[in-house]
């Protein structure tokens, strides 16, 4: 059930993250004023991504791949591409993505101009989006 929740919430997280990046890029390119909704979108993305992190940590420790790691050690896990993705690559990149989102949200508040706010969100959330897209287990996602 945790795995299904993690996968389902991941769709929401990805959609909200894409929306936040697109909104920031549009705001930056059209030189809009940074309004209340422009604050709420990255904030909602921050909250959704942190919920995903909590679900992901739980899913990590109850996964079959973690059980394999416990039984066989890190050396054996690193030799299996699917297990390496689940145990090392996916968690590491997703944590880095959430760090980028968190730092981006924090830094955008300190920007004195609307352009700076949009630029900060676009940059940090964009990097987070790239991290997420790079390590989604696409073979499992596309099989639903």
The pTM is what? 0.90
Region 23-50: what's the mean pLDDT?
96
Write down the pLDDT at residue 133.
94
Q: Rounded to an integer, what distance in angstroms lies between the CA atom of residue 30 and that of residue 1?
A: 43
Angle between helices 36-62 and 2-29 (to 10 degrees): 150
Rounded-to-integer distance, Cα 86 and Cα 54, Å: 16
Domain extent for 112: 2-141
φ and ψ of 136, to 5 deg: -70, 135
Q: Over the stretch 61-80, which tens digit does the pLDDT of each residue have?
A: 999 999 999 999 999 999 99
Mean pLDDT of 92-121: 96
Alpha carbon distance, N-terminus to C-terminus of the chain: 15
In the predicted structure, residue 144 carries a pLDDT above the cut 80:
no
Q: How confident is the model at residue 5 (pLDDT cuts 50, 70, 90)?
A: confident
The number of C-alpha atoms within 13 Å of 9 and in the hemisphere containing its C-beta is 18
Task: Domain count for the chain, please give it.
Answer: 1
């Amino acid at each position: 059930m945790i795995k299904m929740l993690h996968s389902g919430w991941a769709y929401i997280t990805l959609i909200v993250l894409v929306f936040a990046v697109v909104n920031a890029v549009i705001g930056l390119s059209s030189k809009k004023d940074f309004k209340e909704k422009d604050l709420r979108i990255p904030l909602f993305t921050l909250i959704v991504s942190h919920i995903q992190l909590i679900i992901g940590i739980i899913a990590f420790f109850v996964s079959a791949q973690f059980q394999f790691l416990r039984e066989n050690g890190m050396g054996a896990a690193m030799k299996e591409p699917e297990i390496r993705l689940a145990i090392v690559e996916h968690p590491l990149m997703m944590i880095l993505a959430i760090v980028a989102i968190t730092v981006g949200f924090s830094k955008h508040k300190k920007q004195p101009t609307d352009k700076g706010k949009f630029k900060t969100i676009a940059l940090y959330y964009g990097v987070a989006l790239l991290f997420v897209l790079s390590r989604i287990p696409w073979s499992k996602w596309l099989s639903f």
